[in-house]
Amino acid sequence: MKSEEKKERIEIREAFHLNWRAIGIWWKHYPLVFLSSAAFSLVNALTPYVGIWLSARIINELAGARDPNALLQLVIAALVSAALLSFLKAVTERWRNAQHAEKHVKVYKILTDKFLTMDFCLVDAPHTQDLYAQIRQNMQWSGWGIRRIPDNFEAVINALCQIAGAAALSVSLFTQMVPESAGTLVVFNHPSLVCVLILPLLAVTILSPILTTKADSYYASCADGAKKGNRTFGFYGFMGYDRRRALDIRMYCQNLLCQKYFLHSDNVFTTKGLLAKFARGKVGGLYALSSALSYVLTGLIYVYVCLKAYGGAFGVGSVTQYVGAITSLTGGMTKLLTTLGEMYTNTPFLRTAFEFLDIPNQMYQGSLTVEKRSDRNYEIEFRDVSFRYPNTGAWALRHVSARFRVGERLAIVGKNGSGKTTFIKLLCRLYDPSEGEILLNGIDIKKYNYQEYLSVFSVVFQDFQLLPFSLGQNTAAAAQYDAGRAETALQEAGLGKSSPLWKNGLETVLYKQFDDNGVEVSGGEAQKVAIARALYKDAPFIVLDEPTAALDPIAEAEIYEKFNEIVGDKTAIYISHRLSSCRFCDEIMVFDHGSVVQQGTHEALAADEAGIYHQLWNAQAQYYQ
DSSP calls for 277-296: HHHHTHHHHHHHHHHHHHHH
pLDDT score of 300? 76
The model's pLDDT over 437-467, given as tens digits with 9 standing for 90+, comes to 999 988 999 999 988 898 888 888 878 889 9
Closest alpha carbon to 459 in 370, 544, 560, 367 = 544
Global confidence as pTM: 0.73
Look at residue 3 in the predicted model and tell me its pLDDT.
Answer: 43
SS3 263: coil
CATH of domain 4-222+268-357: 1.20.1560
Q: Are 91 and 40 in contact (CB under 8 A)?
A: no
- List every span in the chain annotated with CATH 1.20.1560: 4-222+268-357
102 φ/ψ angles, rounded to the nearest 5 degrees: -100, 15
Largest CA distance in the chain: 122
CA separation for the pair 196, 204 (Å, rounded): 13
Could you give the CA distance from residue 407 to residue 225 in angstroms, rounded to a whole number? 56
The DSSP line for 386-417 is EE--TT--S-SEEEEEEEE-TT-EEEEEESTT
Query: Burial of 580 by CB count in 10 Å (0-12 exposed, 13-18 middle, 19+ buried)?
Result: middle
Angle between helical axes of 12-29 and 103-116 (0-180°, round to 10): 90
Ranges of residues in the chain whose predicted pLDDT is under 70: 1-9, 193-194, 196-197, 218-231, 233-234, 237-238, 240, 261-276, 291, 294, 316, 373-376, 547-564, 621-625
Give 280-286's long-range contacts (Cβ < 8 A, gap of 24+). Answer: 282/215, 282/218, 283/215, 283/218, 283/219, 286/211, 286/212, 286/214, 286/215, 286/218
∠ CA(617), CA(549), CA(119), 5° rounding? 110
What is the distance between the alpha carbons of residues 357 and 365, in angstroms, rounded to a whole number?
Answer: 19
**Residue 502 DSSP class:** G
